[in-house]
Amino acid sequence: MKIVSVLLFGIICVQHQTSAASFGGHEGFFGIGRNTFDTRVIGGSNAERHQFPYMVALHNQGRHTCGASVVSPTWVVTAAHCCDKNMGLNCATTQVVAGQLHQFENHLDVQKASVAKVVIHPQYYYNGTFIDHDITLLKLASKLVFSVAVQPVKLPSANQVFTQGWLSGWGVYQRPPTLPVTLQYLKMDVITNNECDEILKHFEPYEQLPLIDSMVCAMPPSKGPETGCNGDSGGPLADDGVLIGVTSWAVNCGTYKENAPTVFTVVNKYLDFINAHVDDLPLRDGN
């Protein structure tokens, strides 16, 4: 039975942390099994306002489901599994929220848009034991107005190499599973797939999916427990405003582990896909 973490919501109970109370009812997709959580913190730090202006949240029926990144005034990029109807998700009914620092805040920076078109990669595939081409484009029904709070991420060049990046998102940041109110971020080291394969050998096979060429791995520099987790799916791994990857999956983050990779869809392998649909890209490469 796979208990790899495809990093969205569907089986385990998750709570929003607030300064006054917690709100239950959020469910977390955590592969297929139920998991026991300990009390150690996964990691990450509170972001500052305007620190990640390309970061957006996807909300469905008043709940946070995934992250995404602004690529143009009318398009955002996210993970395909965030829009997988087989998981009970429908991005056609999703609200895209840009410019926010705290979830569901009422702030002048915040811009919201509905989705006019969902473009899932035509070769996307996920069956619970294998995932590939985990990338989707969402066309917005109304344009985003760029500001200090809302900016597009740059796309990488086809052969651009990265050694580090910053993961950001509103995913689970604490065990027991708790969703943060404030955007979290974590510096990570980008490693080769060969290095990632060797590290994954230290974890149980049922806790992971096959690593393939459309993926890139990142690790916490501390080699500690920091990792992406439920709700981070679709969000960015970026360096200096250049998009490296779209958050896809991780070694089961439901139980405490150290030195576990987070795995991303590597964006520079999908530039043709992005350019074929997005006709208003303001920044066409990261150089």
Per-residue pLDDT tens for 122-131? 999 998 889 9
Confidence of residue 153 (pLDDT cuts 50, 70, 90): very high
State yes or no: is 240 an active-site residue: no
pLDDT of residue 21: 20
State yes or no: is 279 an active-site residue: no
> Is residue 6 within 8 Å of residue 249, measured between CB atoms?
yes
Q: Is residue 287 part of a domain?
A: no
Largest CA distance in the chain: 48
Confidence of residue 179 (pLDDT cuts 50, 70, 90): low
Q: Is residue 130 part of a domain?
A: yes
What does the block give as tokens for 147? 């500001």
Q: Is residue 121 part of a domain?
A: yes
Whether the predicted pLDDT of 191 surpasses 50: yes
> Is residue 219 within 8 Å of residue 245, measured between CB atoms?
no
Q: Is residue 285 part of a domain?
A: no
State yes or no: is 134 an active-site residue: yes
Catalytic residue among 16, 81, 121, 133: 81
Average pLDDT in the chain: 82
Q: Which of 173, 257, 266, 245 is nearest to 207 (CA)?
A: 257
Domain containing 43 equals 1-29+37-280
Omega within 30 of 0 (cis) for the link into 176: yes
Q: Based on the structure, what is the number of domains in the chain?
A: 1
Cα distances (angstroms) measured from residue 43 to each of 22, 185, 256, 286: 20, 9, 11, 28
Q: Where is mean pLDDT largest: 29-43, 125-139, 162-176, 194-208?
A: 125-139
pLDDT of residue 176: 55
Q: Which of 27, 9, 14, 43 is nearest to 260 (CA)?
A: 43
Catalytic residue among 69, 214, 233, 248: 233
Q: Is residue 94 part of a domain?
A: yes
CATH of the domain at 237: 2.40.10.10
Q: What is the pTM of this model?
A: 0.85
What does the block give as tokens for 180? 């943060």
Whether the predicted pLDDT of 10 surpasses 50: no
Whether the predicted pLDDT of 86 surpasses 60: yes
> Is residue 8 within 8 Å of residue 14, measured between CB atoms?
no
